[in-house]
Amino acid sequence: MKNKVDLLLIVRGLLAVSVLVWHMEGYKETMPHFLNIPGRTAVWIFFGISGYVMGYGFFKKKYLFDKSSLISFYKARFFRIYPLFLGISLISASLIYYDTNIFPITWSNIWKELFMFQFNHEYHLSGVFWTLGIEVQYYLIAPLMAYIIEQILGNRAVLIGIAYLGLVAIVPLSTFFFKIDLDNRNLLGNLSHFFSGMVACKWVIDEKMKLPFKQGVSVVILLLFASNYLYHVKQVYYYLIGHVFIDIIILFLILLHQIVIEWNLNDRFKIIGFLIKTGTISYGIYAWHPLILKYIPKDFNSLLVVFLATWVISYVSFTFLEDKIIQWNKNYEK
């Protein structure tokens, strides 16, 4: 039996694990700067891959720009994100109540904590959920962005370049004029990553763009090392220049994906299967690990134990909750 190799799925899994490593060890600055991947880098690449996936649905005509199709799109996104998000939020709220005798979700903050009505995202139930707030808000405009790219920008390099530079300029301009932190935990400050993934998707579909594998991997590694170094040595340059490096990485990963997806590997390559499964449950790894880090007994607080516990819990939640709901929605749509 032959299996396709989904590079972007593997990358998603590795990124989720890298965030876990960052929150447990990376922030301590014990690793060499160029190897120490900050959580923000992983999140930006996540956003780019999300842009590719959302773009693929529209550019391949799975979703059309009409009412019924858009309803299907939003339902699919809701059932993919919200069940686990709400479940972990309620578990976290219950644990906080157990520790403090104060229930953290009230009528005054429910819209922020559970419905993501925020500009700069901050979630007291789980710190990592700020990225989900941005992701969900991106879903709201993803059809419009896909329409603009397909119907207005097309494959015109000059127009795409102007649009991209405009999105990149949001970060320094919002900091200069509105005193918003450079880390920009809001949708506007992260649009360039989603846009890069969507544009790359359009290019590979229309132009069948590819690149030499070894050279592409080399560029990804060099830019990753460079952005890592900037984060740890000169963060202001990381937020002003490093995020452009990440957008180039996003583009190259998507181009490399077109090569790797054509490879066939036998089942004996178990490590590939494990990496693909890790990518499949990557949302769970990302969402569950802060809770596990917070409540795991100190005697078991090692990187290996935390990773294994997170992986198993994420696998179980995907198998018995997330995937069941996804399949239910697919069957309901038929």
Structure confidence by residue, pLDDT tens digits, 32-56: 999 999 999 999 999 999 999 999 9
Choose among 59, 38, 40: nearest CA to 48. 40
**How many other CB atoms are found less than 10 A from the CB of residue 125?**
21
Measured CA to CA, the distance from residue 120 to residue 103 in angstroms comes to: 23
Measured CA to CA, the distance from residue 308 to residue 312 in angstroms comes to: 6
Tell me the H-state helices in the chain. Answer: 7-24, 39-59, 67-100, 110-113, 130-147, 157-178, 191-206, 213-233, 235-237, 243-260, 270-280, 282-295, 303-317, 323-333
Structure confidence by residue, pLDDT tens digits, 158-196: 999 999 999 999 999 999 898 988 999 999 999 999 999
pLDDT of residue 299: 83
Q: What percent of the chain has pLDDT over 70?
A: 98
Structure confidence by residue, pLDDT tens digits, 193-248: 999 999 999 999 988 777 888 999 999 999 999 999 999 999 999 999 999 999 99
